[in-house]
């Protein structure tokens, strides 16, 4: 006898149910999801000897939505260790932030460098 209810219980999510007749059993095949979650990218700030500390704190507040304390903490970390994490974003957002930071630094004649790496 047909029992569509049991077919429903056999599968989930991405399963395709193929009714193979009237036996009440089904063949379940897996299909790959057609969308992938975007890979995430870490935006990094690099230390240099010339960019003023206050400018770096301002950058972190303006482009990474940090409060002044978090921004100062990250800035000091970069100052001491040479590199620091500003946040992790989907590729295009990370790329935009890197561009904005570098452009803003250049406009203010600071050599600040910002880059990104796959998480």
Which residues here bind ligand TYC, judged by CB under 6 A? Answer: 45-49, 51-53, 56, 75, 78-79, 112
Q: Which is nearer to ligand TYC, 75 or 94 (CB)?
A: 75
Q: Which is nearer to ligand TYC, 20 or 68 (CB)?
A: 68
Q: How far is the CB of 66 from ligand TYC (least distance, A)?
A: 13
Q: Determine which helix (DSSP H) or strand (DSSP E) holds 83, and give its type and residue range.
A: strand 83-90
Q: How far is the CB of 100 from ligand TYC (least distance, A)?
A: 15
Which residue shows structure tokens 């620091």? 84
Q: Which is nearer to ligand TYC, 11 or 47 (CB)?
A: 47
Which residue shows structure tokens 């957002």? 93
| Alpha-carbon dihedral 72, 77, 78, 82, rounded to 10 degrees | 160
DSSP conformational letter for 86: E
Q: How far is the CB of 53 from ligand TYC (least distance, A)?
A: 5
Neighbours of 100 (CB within 10 A): 14
Q: Chain centroid to CA 99: how far?
A: 16
Q: How far is the CB of 104 from ligand TYC (least distance, A)?
A: 13
């Amino acid at each position: 006898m047909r029992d569509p209810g049991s077919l429903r219980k056999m599968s989930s999510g991405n399963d395709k149910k193929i009714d193979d007749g009237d036996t009440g059993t089904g063949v379940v095949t897996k299909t790959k999801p057609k969308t992938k979650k975007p890979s995430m990218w870490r935006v990094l700030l690099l230390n240099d000897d010339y960019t003023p500390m206050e400018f770096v704190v301002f950058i972190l507040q303006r482009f990474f939505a940090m409060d002044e304390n978090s921004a100062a903490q990250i800035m000091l970390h970069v100052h001491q260790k040479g590199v620091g994490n500003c946040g992790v974003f989907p590729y295009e957002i990370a790329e935009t932030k890197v561009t904005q930071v570098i452009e803003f630094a250049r406009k203010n004649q600071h050599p600040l460098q910002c880059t990104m790496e796959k998480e």
